[in-house]
Structure 1
Amino acid sequence: MPRRIGVGASYYRGPMRVATWNVNSVKQRIPRLLPWLDERRPDVVCLQETKLSDDAFHEVLGADLAERGYEIAHAGQGQWNGVALLSRVGLDDVRVGFDGMPGYPTPETLEARAVSAVCGGLRIHSLYVPNGRSPDSDHYTYKLEWLAALAKAVADPSTTLLCGDMNIAPADADLFDPEAFAGHTHVTPPERAALAEFAALGMRDVVRDRWPDDRVFSYWDYRAGMFHKDLGMRIDLILAGESAAGRVEAAWIDRKARKGSKPSDHAPVIVDLDEAPDGNIGPVVPPPSNPAKPGGAKVKLPQTPD
């Protein structure tokens, strides 16, 4: 993999490994994050749910990341939200949020959900899309407004990567059981229509493009058995514009990072541009060893009313 070429090295146009990972509290995940960086050696990393202020993020991770050659852009909010970009191939024109981004609970109350920069010649966004909570809530309306504003803010889709926890499963194939999610957020037609607006801009869901018929999940609830039975959903995405999508050599979910002690409930999504150091090894690495059979015992979501 290419090494960082110095501060402001956005002129770099070589092979890149780009990853996105909702770490669900980066301070708790440091014992997992740093070895993962050493093993997978991504050139650009998008993190979500860091749950730290900017100062705290730099205090707990700045030295370790600098030692590994990463420049940092972080937008923090203390105990909530928080997104970061780490890059060894340049970090230019950093932007916190995006034009027209709405806030919550008022339009002026902007949450730490988006940061972008030019890395290796591409505008890369680290995004933590609002959850939506329930379809009848004002947070759901906020989610749809947030996504609509993001679609309008994408200035040059061709050279853009949208990476992060989108909190939307694009299709029923991205759920372990569509019936279990009926009536919940993440799967409603308005949410999926909002996500489809990026496809209308020419942006490609590169993991699904590469593995159109495979069972691919990126998130598994912490409840016992959900991960080992592969009862998950795919809500962590990398959407790539035309010039980037045409360079994809591998696209996969790093399921190994979800295993073991004190993991995040999300796994990283990894995309290799121009070269695939590990080969075309997807879609989920390693594959689940004990997946539940389709049509087996029904699993009730925690938020489902009795």
Structure 2
Amino acid sequence: MSLIGEPEWAPPGVDPAQPSVARVHDALLGGMENFAADRSVARKLKDAVPEVVDLVWCNRAFIGRVVDFLIRETGVRQIIDLGSGLPTVENTHEVAQFADPRSRVVYVDIDPMVEPHARAILSNNPNAAAITADARDVAAVLGHPTLTRMIDLSQPTALLVIGLLHLFPDRDDPHGLVRRYMSALPSGSYLAASNMLASPSPKAQALETMLQATMGTGYFRDRPSIVAYFDGLVLVEPGVVHFPEWHPDERLPGPLAPWEELLLGGVARKP
């Protein structure tokens, strides 16, 4: 984002020397909305787990299939995307509005770079918006004037919490956070959630160690803990599974690659 030797420009409130999850993710996807500090973290992650780029694209593909399912199969026409990150390819609103142009999407992210970049992309789209907010502050998110203008919280709503919950330590009570959001949504709403899966796999341990060393975050959890995000809800088949196993576009060719086993998630309906 700058010429060699020149300081990198950053919008007000953004410290380019401090890497952010959203910008590191953008760097891994080959985006341009990141700084040297973010690219340095991305390189370290790739050195630790070379397949991490495949992993983030697998995450994007999962989101796309989930959103397409929600719009085409459930009747839901409004989505709140928590921890959405910087705009990239096959964004949630693009997938949703391809299935039904009436679909409304609100992106939520704590990184102050997300909202202005999303606003530029969404300037001619009356059914999509972005807000800057901490997903852990449920009242601030659901009470934000942009969200309440876009989303009718009395109607079924899909909440996407994909690629976010593993950023929260247990002391932040991620399970309670999910419950608070879902308790605020009406019957017929949906939750799509995921978490990095704890395992003895060297890939899992290397990635978790590097995330915590470079970003100060990254909390892998076991399967029962991930399934517990959906307590009180009705899981959509095939339940909580590895991303490639959830409504694959094509028949799975064989066993999952080790890095594909790091991602676990699912979709469920509020009865």
Higher strand share: 1
TM-score (norm: length of structure 2): 0.41
TM-score (norm: length of structure 1): 0.38
Higher helix share: 2
